[in-house]
Structure 1
């Protein structure tokens, strides 16, 4: 059975120690607990590889890599739980990016996605656009064209 891998990339406006970022970092544990308690949640990366992230995207980014039962369950978490209030405050904490910052793709249940895999999928989304191989929230409804 296929499940959904999700990768989200953000660039903070300020250094981690800047007081303007404190409300973001203080809410991280709460939001992660919300995700983990959601019925559609399967897994999230706990040991983030900042060195590899810096190598793949450049310095200063943060990311989330997780697995969900479906796009609908991810959207439910993002928009219909208290997470949505934090999502709406994103511009306070993160710089705007010109390219898509979220990519999703189907994986076999039990597969653990990697940061390199997420980078490859993001490149497909950048170069090809939404497809069965890599898509975003706006293009997560089937059918998706297979290239």
Structure 2
């Protein structure tokens, strides 16, 4: 864990149908449970929500089918444990049922502790990763960068859902 910095993340996906379409129902119906799992996970700090308990009503992109998810964690290891070693992984493995494949869908970056990123900030980090590849400005689990105040770099976390 770092003292002055936390790990922010954005992941986006283009839904195969609108969030209210029956094809997406199983995904939508499990959002509260997965969000509660995240909030109860060690190292969780914050997550972005819209009018409800999730961000499915937030249109951060011109395309209304692109869903956004953002959160902040104490460390790469804490977020990695939630993503790849909790009940969340079962939904990750099924993502192709609900979402189209995207090349650039997730970015991580360090943010000052106590800061909650805006969608605009997070989308800019995602674009930076797409443009430059992994840097200290935006990176992935496979290519983590240390927090500005870290004594040691974090270990890579490989996608266990591929």
* 1:16 positional shift: 2.1
**Superposed displacement of residue 141, structure 1:** 5.3
Question: What is the deviation of 1:31?
Answer: 0.1
Q: Render the CA deviation track for 1:49-76: whole Å, top value 9, x for unaligned.
A: 724x124xx3311011100011111110
What residue is the counterpart of 2:35 in the other structure?
Answer: 32
* Structure holding more helix per residue: 1
**Normalising by the residue count of structure 1, what TM-score does the alignment of the two structures yield?**
0.89
TM-score (norm 2): 0.81
- 2:96 corresponds to: 91
Task: Report the 3-state secondary structure (helix = DSSP H, G, I; strand = E; otherwise coil) of the residue aligned with 1:92.
Answer: helix
Gaps of 5+ in 2: 147-152, 155-162
Distance, in Å, in 2 between the alignment partners of 1:86 and 1:119 is 23
Q: Which sections of structure 1, spanning at least 5 residues, go unmatched?
A: none
Residue in 2 that maps onto 1:69 = 74
Which of structure 1's runs of 4+ aligned residues deviate more than 6 A?
none
SS at 1:8 equivalent: strand
Instruction: Verify the 8 A CA contact 2:139 2:145 in the aligned structure 1.
Output: no
Q: Which deviations, in whole Å up to 9, do the C-alpha atoms of 1:11-40 show, x marking residues without a partner?
A: 111222322211101100000000000011
